[in-house]
Amino acid sequence: MVDSSLEVKNYGILASGQGSNALSLIVKGLEFGRPPQFVILNRDNSPLIEKAENLGIKTYFLESTLKGEDLDFEARVLNLCQVHQVDWLFLAGFLKILSGPFIDHFNNVGFSQILNIHPSLLPKYPGLGGYKKAYKNNDPEFGHTIHLVTKGIDEGPILLQKVIPTNSNWSLEDMVAVGKKIENNSYALVLETLLKNGLSWDGKQAQLTWVIDVK
Ligand code: GRF
């Protein structure tokens, strides 16, 4: 049985898209006096690049393949992690499959030190299109899940899950707007909790489930 705990020393962020979650992590990290060591983007058209740089965060654009694993991209990420002594990664809208060896690299004490935010109530709707699927299926509730990244896609141990009641008057765009705003708060709260407490795990998934009231 695994019995381990770990503090967060240095962390980095990997992002691809609009970057609202990455920005929320950066703002929380700065507020806490513990900003990320870097943000890595694999898309050069993200508005996050300018926003992160304006906040004084080191930003790297590393080109990657669009689909599948990209071992060359991963080697460049690992090199930057070594340079900046980064031992935790936050995936924030990062559109890339990570290879098993890359994930293993961040699994030193029995659990993964890579976090992800996924826009559905896992195990419902893994993969792409979480909001769209909840909307199309008229789900009475939707939400997001923050979990540790393991080799199974969107399968890792859950740190926080936020359930949001659906309003039947909403369009899909309304649902995404409401959902993403709360995602941003949730991810920042998880970062704050990790920076304060680190993560401890006695080998049971339940031990990782925090009861946090996210507004
Ligand atoms: C979020 O909905 C997140 O849950 C998913 O991708 C989206 C990224 O949005 N993984 P942003 O780039 O953080 O604004």
Report the pocket of ligand 1 as residue ranges, CB < 6 Å.
Answer: 17-22, 92-93, 117-119, 144, 180, 183
Nearest ligand 1 atom to alpha carbon 91: 10
Q: Is residue 213 part of a domain?
A: no
Domain that holds residue 134: 4-208
Structural domain includes residue 166 = yes
Residue with tokens 């790297």: 60
In angstroms, the Cα distances linking 168 to 165, 172, 205 are 10, 10, 34
Q: How does DSSP classify residue 208?
A: G
Residue 215 lies in a domain: no
11-15 and 88-92 strand pairing: parallel
Is 32 within 8 Å of 5 (Cβ atoms)? no
What pLDDT does residue 204 have? Answer: 58
Domain contains 196:
yes
Give first-to-last CA distance, the chain, whole Å.
35
pLDDT for 108 equals 85
Strand 141-148 versus strand 4-6 pairing type: unpaired
Mutate to test the pocket of ligand 1, among 13, 18, 20, 21 (most ligand atoms within 8 A of CB): 21
Across the 215 residues of the chain, what is the mean pLDDT of every consecutive 10-residue run? 73 96 98 97 92 97 93 98 97 95 92 95 96 98 96 91 95 98 96 88 54 46
Does residue 11 fall inside a structural domain?
Answer: yes
Domain count, the chain: 1
User: What gap in Å lies between CA 21 and CA 213, rounded to an integer?
Assistant: 18
Which pLDDT score, from 0 to 100, does residue 109 have?
83
Report if residue 72 sits inside a domain: yes
214 found inside a domain: no
* Domain-embedded: residue 204: yes
Residue 117 CA: nearest ligand 1 atom is 4
For residue 87, what is the domain's CATH number? 3.40.50.170
